Structure 1
Amino acid sequence: MRPAIPAVMGQNDSLKHLGDRVLWESTLEEAMYATDDEMKIRKFGRVSITKEGISVEGFDVKGAMCRDVAVMAAAWAIGELQREMLKTIAKPGGGKISVD
């Protein structure tokens, strides 16, 4: 089985968002891996972005350690933001993005 999330990212590494899973593609051969288990988001939570940093709460990820949860949550949030942004670009009110 292919390792899921390396402890060190290489310059040519990439994450691909696949629904509730993230595919890690890496050319880094010397990375240390946290787990060889497949990771899957079992419960979605909230990712908050502020000028102080990024906060992840409420996520439950099967086969993941703390850092892995942060990476999975960030990949999920990036995918959600991209989909909603494209819907908003396509037509006014098309996405679930609100401005206060």
Structure 2
Amino acid sequence: MSIITTHILDATLGKPASDVLVRLFILQDEHYILLDQKTTDQDGRVKNFDLPICIAGTYQIQFETLPYFAAQQQQCFYPRVSIEFMVTALDRHYHVPLLISPFSYSTYRGS
């Protein structure tokens, strides 16, 4: 398992959001650099980002929510959700969950 993981729950349907494109970036020299991108599995999870090396710093996860809701024939207000977070200890696991609905989202530090 990667040091950074995520999952998405569709709060409207009460089920995981599968087939959502998720990109992981790191902030370097005031610019975000793409590290990896994955699509959520049937459980709405990305369990393993392919990271060449994980370093302490500021990261960003982007969730492409517009195609997910379009596939369900639903409008949405947020076409993409971006979450910035800090990795400070490399011996810890950083789980960044996302709860979505067509017109809102929330997140928290998971375990």
The structure that has the greater radius of gyration is 1
The normalised TM-score by structure 1 is 0.33
Select the structure that is richer in helix.
1
The normalised TM-score by structure 2 is 0.30
- If asked which structure has higher relative contact order (CA below 8 Å, sep 6+), I would say 2
Select the structure that is richer in strand.
2
